[in-house]
Chains A and B, each alone.
Chain A
């Protein structure tokens, strides 16, 4: 599975847009990019997944450039409740349900 690199931490303020970038230089052709969110003492929660270009759902957008060596999770108008750790994962569409988590990005949203 491709190794991912993300910032260790980020700070933002309520109402701002937050962009978290993840590098995955060794992404394979059939790998998907997935983001999870985790609050303290809870299990991670799936946010969004994509393969290329842009994916948007009710909570976030995922931007993937043509070379797919990086991806950006965009959270519009964050609130205090968005304070969490965000994980970027890269893995094959086939294979088994084995998720490899990196250190994640600790996002702190301030009032």
Chain B
């Protein structure tokens, strides 16, 4: 079974621009979560989508948004980029629907975003 894929793997943007990152979950997984990882703040939860609905959201400004399509693929968008948005953005998928005790999420390789 193919793993979680993220595109692009690397991206360089200029401050003020916007960016869209894509994530394809493992086949059959309906939950997709996004995380930001920086040296200073570590791994932080951005949001989770399940069946095209945002179920949970982390403490990030409204410039960070996402969506999920009917095939479970997800995109996240960051508008008006700031230098501090430079980070590794990770996507994770899970088959867990909420009632199962299994807490396993499968992470993709990430998209390395550099804002200059």
Contacts and interface: CB of A to CB of B under 8 A. Distances in A.
19 contacts: A32-B101, A32-B103, A34-B103, A46-B105, A49-B101, A87-B43, A89-B103, A93-B103, A94-B99, A96-B56, A96-B98, A97-B50, A98-B33, A98-B48, A98-B56, A99-B43, A99-B92, A99-B103, A101-B43
Nearest to B46: A98
Interface in A80-102: 87, 89, 91, 93-102
A99 B33 contact: yes
Contacts of A99: 33, 35, 43, 45, 92, 103, 105
Interface stretch (A15-23, A37-45, A66-74): A37-45
Interface in B75-116: 88, 90-92, 94, 96, 98-110, 112
Looking at chain A's contact residues, the main secondary structure is loop
> How many B residues are at the interface, by size bracket?
20 to 34
> How many A residues are at the interface, by size bracket?
20 to 34
Which of A34, A99, A101, A103 has its CB near the most chain B CB atoms (within 10 A)? A99
Nearest to B94: A97
Contacts, number: 76
Which of B43, B55, B103, B110 has its CB near the most chain A CB atoms (within 10 A)? B103
A32 B103 CA distance: 8
B55 A96 contact: yes
A41 B101 contact: no
Nearest to A93: B101
Nearest to B31: A97
B16 interface: no
A51 interface: yes
B81 to A, nearest CB: 21
Contact of B45 (A32, A42, A46, A98): A98
Contacts of B31: 97
B116 to A, nearest CB: 19
Contacts of A49: 101-104
A95 B101 contact: no
B8 interface: no
